[in-house]
Every structure is written in structure tokens, then in C-alpha cells.
Amino acid sequence: MSITSAQRQSGVRPFLVGMFVDALGSGLYYPLTLLFIHSVTGLPMTVVGLGVTAAAAVGLAANPVAGVLIDRFDARRVLIGTYVLRGLGFAAYPFVDGFAALIVVAAVVAFGDRAYYPASGGYISVLATGADRDRLYALMSTARNVAFGLGGLLSAGVVSLGGTTGFVIIASVNAASFIVATGCLVLSGRRSPVEPAPPERGGYRRVLADRPFLGLVAAEQAFTLTRLVLPVALPVYAVTVLGAPAWLLGLLYTLNTILVAVGQLAVRRRQRAARRTHAMALGGAVLILSCVAYAAAAAFPPGPPRVIALVTATLVFTAGEL
């Protein structure tokens, strides 16, 4: 089925608007993940960490389940479902009063988070093809980083002005952002701009037989772990170990996301002549240096020297991410 420019834009624009609003709301939350849940629920940090870990394990099932649902229905409907799940989850966070309730709510959010990526990727595959698809991916990545950065900047202001109440405001605004994102996709129409290709046969047996792909997946686990540094590890380490103010986390997150948004296209242009595996290896080495820099921040005296050390480590981390 051919696709006209008007048909493409009719799906692309609502998708990008919804994605931007989603990322803006999530940017309020990600820089303070564990601190956010701890402050909103009142549960001890160790209980929060255990609950989030259990919920993340549940969320692992989201990728294969999302793949099946995308094949049976379509990526747009599954994407709407991820927005609804996360909106309900964040609306419920202020009412969590125990470990069991925490696991349930955090699992709903984690499931929606993990299912978002195959759903959004699948929807992009029917919105654009060839070079247009590459440009759409780049545009989406840039827009999401800008939105995350703005959200992180806003979170710093909300927490510094509102204290514990500020965390409840963050939960409410984030839930509302998913409602708006859902509305954008609903208003875009009932059908995708182009019909998706029929799914290939073979299932996971075919995937597991692809050894080079499995090697890439194994290597990717290290990079996936580093993506948790800013939203999960750094907030707890910086505030509880280094004594840094909570508002600093939003600024560090904003610094990271804006630099990634601004610099990624230039980095991609420079990497056109390089092997992607070599670029990944270089990025991994720089990320190792950033972890060393974060650890070394503890050797600096409290106050401005330690803040400067954290900012420097975040800049190194951002270079590795780029």
C-alpha cells in the first residue's frame, strides 16, 4: 500500500506530540526514581529498592508480550495501551501504603515502560520507510531528550519549592502526561498510515539460532545497566552517600539530556565511516571512566567541590552515551 505525504504526516505529528508530552512528564520522575517512590509512599528506601527490583523482573515479560500483541492487533493500539498503563500506575502511586501495593503499582508502570519500546519502534516502522525512517528515529530521539531535559529541570524546581508535596505533584503531572499522549494517538485516526508487513514465521527458535545477534544482546546488557545510572543509582548515591541536594539531580539529568540531544547528530555524522562495534567499544570505555569519576566524587569535600565533581562525572558519562 503506497503512502502519501499527507497520510504520513497525519500519523507522524500526533505520534511525535504524544511522545514529547510523555517524555516531558517522565523527565519529572526519572532523575528521582527511588527518591520519588520513597517520598510519595513513605516506605523505607530498602523496601522501595526491593519492590522496584521485583517490579522490574515482572516488566521483563513486557517485550515478548508486546511483540505478540503487536502482531495480533497493531503497534498503535499497543502503544496507546502502554500510555494507559503508566498513567494509571502514576495516578495510584500516592495511594501506595505497603510493600504488596508497591510491587503491583511499580509492576504496572514497569510493564508499560518496557512495552513502550517495541510498540513505538513498531509504529515508526509503519509511519516511515528507508531514509525517512532513519530521520524519524533521529527526530524522535532528539525530541525525547529535549523533553526529558525540560522535565528534569522542572523536577528540580518542583522538589526545591514543594518538598514532599512536590513529589505528589510530579506523580499527578506524569499521570496527566500519559493521558494527553493517549489522546494524541486516539485523535490520529483508527488505522496506521500503512499496513504492517505480515510477521515472519519461526518465533524465538529462529532468534536464538542467530549467534551474532545473541552476542550483540549479551554486550548490550552492560550498556543497559549504565542507562540506570542517572535515573536510579545516582540519586541514591548522590543524596544519601554524598549529601548532595535533591534539586541537583534534576539539573544533572537536564545537562545530560540536552547535550545528548544537541550532540548526537554530529556524533552520528562522524561515525559514518567507523564500524559500529568499534564505536560501541569506545563508548563503553568512556562509560567506565565516568563510573570511576562518580566514585571519585566522594573524595572531594562537601559543597561546591563535590558538586563540580558530580557535574564533571556527568559530562564524561554523557560523552560515553553519545
Quick check: 37 pLDDT over 60? yes
32 & 71 share domain: yes
Q: Who has greater pLDDT, 161 or 144?
A: 144
User: If you average pLDDT over residues 266-276, what whole number do you get?
Assistant: 77
151 & 185 share domain: yes
Q: Who has greater pLDDT, 206 or 3?
A: 206
162 & 261 share domain: no
Please indicate, yes or no, if residue 203 is contained in any of the structural domains.
no
Instruction: State the pLDDT at residue 12.
Output: 79
User: If you average pLDDT over residues 79-102, what whole number do you get?
Assistant: 84
Q: Are 268 and 206 in contact (CB under 8 A)?
A: no
156 & 218 share domain: no
Q: Are 271 and 279 in contact (CB under 8 A)?
A: yes
* Residue (of 148, 321, 173, 119) closest to 250 by Cα position: 148
147 & 266 share domain: no
Grid cell locating 94: 500516592
Q: Counting beta carbons within 10 angstroms of the beta carbon of residue 279, is it exposed (0 to 12), middle (13 to 18) or buried (19 or more)? A: middle
Quick check: 245 pLDDT over 90? no
Give the list of residues 6+ apart from residue 206 with CB closer than 8 angstroms, or none.
200
Instruction: State the pLDDT at residue 313.
Output: 95
Q: Are 89 and 51 in contact (CB under 8 A)?
A: no
Query: What is the residue-wise DSSP string for 270-305?
Result: HGGGS-HHHHHHHHHHHHHHHHHHHHHGGGSPTTHH
What is the C-alpha separation between 290 and 33, in angstroms, rounded?
21
Please indicate, yes or no, if residue 307 is contained in any of the structural domains.
yes
What is the C-alpha separation between 10 and 220, in angstroms, rounded?
34
189 & 292 share domain: no
Instruction: State the pLDDT at residue 31.
Output: 60
pLDDT, tens digit, for every residue of 165-186?
A: 777 777 788 888 888 888 888 8
User: If you average pLDDT over residues 227-232, what whole number do you get?
Assistant: 79
Q: Who has greater pLDDT, 232 or 116?
A: 116
Of 196, 220, 248, which residue constitutes the final position of a domain? 196
Please indicate, yes or no, if residue 201 is contained in any of the structural domains.
no
Quick check: 96 pLDDT over 60? yes
Instruction: State the pLDDT at residue 9.
Output: 55
Instruction: State the pLDDT at residue 135.
Output: 75
C-alpha distances out from residue 223 to 29, 71, 162, 189, Å: 21, 28, 34, 37
Grid cell locating 86: 503508566
The total number of structural domains in the chain stands at 2
- In three-state secondary structure terms, 51 is helix
Quick check: 92 pLDDT over 80? yes
Give the list of residues 6+ apart from residue 175 with CB closer than 8 angstroms, or none.
25, 86, 87, 88, 89, 90, 91
- Residue 288 phi/psi, 5-degree rounding, is -60, -45
Instruction: State the pLDDT at residue 195.
Output: 52
- In three-state secondary structure terms, 232 is helix
Quick check: 34 pLDDT over 50? yes
Q: Who has greater pLDDT, 1 or 85?
A: 85
Q: Note down the domain range covering 149.
A: 1-196
Please indicate, yes or no, if residue 204 is contained in any of the structural domains.
no
User: If you average pLDDT over residues 250-266, what whole number do you get?
Assistant: 81
Tell me the pLDDT of the chain averaged across its residues.
Answer: 80
What is the C-alpha separation between 322 and 256, in angstroms, rounded?
10
Read off the CATH number of the domain in which 63 is found: 1.20.1250.20
pLDDT, tens digit, for every residue of 278-313?
A: 888 999 999 999 999 999 999 999 888 999 999 999
